[in-house]
Amino acid sequence: MTLLREVPALWLVAPLLPLLLAAGLIVPAWRAALLRVAPWAALPALLLALVAPVGTSGALPWLFFGARVGLDDVGRPFLLLTGLGWLAAGVHASGYLATDARRDVFTRWFLVAMAGNVGLVLARDALTFVLFFSLMSLGAYGLVVHDRRPSSVHAGRVYVTLVVLGEMALYAGVLLWVADGGDLAFGARPPHARFTELSAGLLLVGFGIKAGAAPLHLWLPLAHPAAPTPASAVLSGAMIKAGLLGWLRFLPLGEVAAPGLAVFCMVQGFASAFLGVIVGVTQRDPKTLLAYSSISQMGLMNVGVGAALLDPRHAATAVAAVSLFAVHHALAKAALFLGAGAVGSWPAGRAGRALFAVALTLPALALAGVPPTSGAVAKAGLKEALLAAGVDGAPITLLALSTVGTTVLMARLLLLLRARAAAGGRLPASVVAGWGAMVLASGVGLWLLPWPDLRQAVLARTHLVPGWYTIWPVAAGLGLVGLWGWLVRAGRAPAVPEVPAGDLVVPIERALGRSAETWAAVTAGAERLVGLGRSLAAALGARGAAALGRLGRVEAALLGWEVSGGALLLVLVALFVALTWG
């Protein structure tokens, strides 16, 4: 590992390998060979996450303004989830898209987004971070629109709009951040560094778009399901965490107490958490439901960010809890997306079916926070962090209530998946491998974390024997699901003795029908707004053309010698005046 210290450019192998592979894929002659290597492109990142010692970083004085890359306490969990997520998705994609005619195009965007994601996690200075962030955003666009269906193209358009807005906010926010702090490097802000609300607001918006923070989440339920399954898994698993990491990097965590910002983050976080559940539960498409679930879970992480902002002394605890939650969610969500893509290949044999059911259920249980899965650990950690920051009462109750919601959501997901289960061709081995790895990781991954200190910290805060606090929300959620089913049975056809096991789908679907009408009205309204904007733009365009025409006349006049001579005299006199009396 001294090698990493002596040759800091080695850090760059992790982001550069996918980038070079993406570039190489342009050459037709190399394509076949490179496509065989591409699934493993995230391996260097994963290796770095596992073996590189925390606290090492290297300066790359020749890159950008002089970049720094490396690994710290905050970066390590994110590198782990990024490396693991991309590796599993890459392996999965090699089988999932084996027959896709445009597989090379997909792989190229996939690798570009991967390079950006890995690079931003390794970045130890502001500029390197946002440059890789932009690269990831760019690559993700190609993933969203890959299948070129109208819905995907539409999702891509919404995505690009929000990304452009987000990047503008981001660069403005980072610029202010740098101008206020005087240094690009993370963790090197001098004590006199200011932290302005404007900068914080811009960063919240810029990263919030990627993190799906309501109400900036609009693109997410459209775009995450639009992408091919392995891409959905990384979008909702790894890439969404880049927005969170951005907050952890740029907000003044552990530096100052920012109560206003903290309350804002918590309110926003809980709003996201419940919005994700309430809208998500009405969804018919499992992938869309999962996307809403991501919005909900990211909201909970933002609550943790709020806790870190509240009290600088306990910020480290909160950041650790949020990072842990991020790892847990990345793994579970990726496993669920990959599972949702596999239900079309429902196996025929009993053993196969059982295995399938377990593989689908395990990450769902983890997400709901059923002990002793990673989800229970993550949620307990978050609660501890809130308590440590001095938050008690309503937020703790809301946290528990969100678990109720997540449980309902996951039950709904499993019912939907079961309804969609259909016999199909055998899954390719690589698909099974990628999916299986994610399922295993989400189930037991957190217990196998390779860092004893982190594991100790987790264990110290978590009661292995599930406490009442972890059990009642899950139980309540399941109870709610049962109650709902009983109501349906009772209200709809009490005389029918046999109700199919999936009857819960019916009332939910009726609710969905209503919400679909509402949704249609909303979208119609939005379309009308868009149309209005378009005609306004057209009118402005006509005006603009006329104005440009007038500009042309001014320009022609400037070509005349009298005018330009007069202008020259004017500039001359103005310069003299400014120099003399300025």
Q: Which residues would be at the binding site for another protein (CB under 8 A)?
A: 61-66, 127, 130-131, 134, 171, 175-176, 178-179, 548-549, 551-552, 555-562, 564-565, 567-568, 571-576, 578-582
**Residue for token digits 């090197």?**
188
Structure token digits, residue 30: 């190399």
Q: Which is nearer to another protein, 179 or 520 (CB)?
A: 179
Q: Which is nearer to another protein, 138 or 419 (CB)?
A: 138
From the CB of 373, what's the least distance to another protein, in Å?
A: 40
From the CB of 520, what's the least distance to another protein, in Å?
A: 33
From the CB of 537, what's the least distance to another protein, in Å?
A: 13
Compute, in degrees rounded to 10, the torsion defined by CA atoms 24, 26, 30, 35: 80
Q: What is the residue-wise DSSP string for 61-87?
A: TTSTTSEEEE--TTHHHHHHHHHHHHH
From the CB of 572, what's the least distance to another protein, in Å?
A: 4
Q: Which is nearer to another protein, 6 or 555 (CB)?
A: 555
CA dihedral sign, ordered 499, 502, 504, 505: negative
Say what angle helices 75-96 and 43-51 make with each other, to 10 degrees. 150
Q: Which is nearer to another protein, 468 or 561 (CB)?
A: 561
> What span, in angstroms and rounded, lies between the C-alpha atoms of 228 and 215?
25
From the CB of 54, what's the least distance to another protein, in Å?
A: 26
How many helices (H) and strands (E) are present in the chain, helices listed first?
A: 23, 2
From the CB of 545, what's the least distance to another protein, in Å?
A: 8
From the CB of 310, what's the least distance to another protein, in Å?
A: 29
Q: Is the Cβ–Cβ distance between 231 and 111 less than 8 Å? A: no
> What span, in angstroms and rounded, lies between the C-alpha atoms of 338 and 322?
24
From the CB of 200, what's the least distance to another protein, in Å?
A: 15
**Residue for token digits 């009726």?**
510
From the CB of 182, what's the least distance to another protein, in Å?
A: 9
Please name the residues in contact with 188: beta carbons below 8 A apart, sequence gap of 6 or more: none
From the CB of 146, what's the least distance to another protein, in Å?
A: 18
Q: Is the Cβ–Cβ distance between 82 and 50 less than 8 Å? A: no
CA dihedral sign, ordered 94, 96, 98, 103: negative
Q: Which is nearer to another protein, 84 or 120 (CB)?
A: 120
Q: Among residues 473, 452, 106, 409, which one has the least CA distance to residue 279? A: 409
Q: Which is nearer to another protein, 542 or 558 (CB)?
A: 558
Q: Is the Cβ–Cβ distance between 270 and 299 less than 8 Å? A: yes
DSSP 3-state of 236: helix
> What span, in angstroms and rounded, lies between the C-alpha atoms of 143 and 17?
19
Q: Which is nearer to another protein, 542 or 572 (CB)?
A: 572
Q: Which amino acid is at 24?
A: G
Q: Which is nearer to another protein, 127 or 298 (CB)?
A: 127
> What span, in angstroms and rounded, lies between the C-alpha atoms of 385 and 75?
19
Compute, in degrees rounded to 10, the torsion defined by CA atoms 389, 394, 395, 399: 130
From the CB of 253, what's the least distance to another protein, in Å?
A: 23
Q: Among residues 62, 48, 67, 50, which one has the least CA distance to residue 4? A: 48
Q: Among residues 133, 130, 140, 118, which one has the least CA distance to residue 184? A: 130
> What span, in angstroms and rounded, lies between the C-alpha atoms of 254 and 246?
15
Q: Is the Cβ–Cβ distance between 234 and 86 less than 8 Å? A: yes
Q: Which is nearer to another protein, 209 or 298 (CB)?
A: 209
Q: Is the Cβ–Cβ distance between 110 and 231 less than 8 Å? A: yes
Say what angle helices 240-250 and 103-122 make with each other, to 10 degrees. 20
Q: Which is nearer to another protein, 88 or 123 (CB)?
A: 123
From the CB of 391, what's the least distance to another protein, in Å?
A: 35
Q: Which is nearer to another protein, 99 or 580 (CB)?
A: 580
Q: Which is nearer to another protein, 174 or 365 (CB)?
A: 174
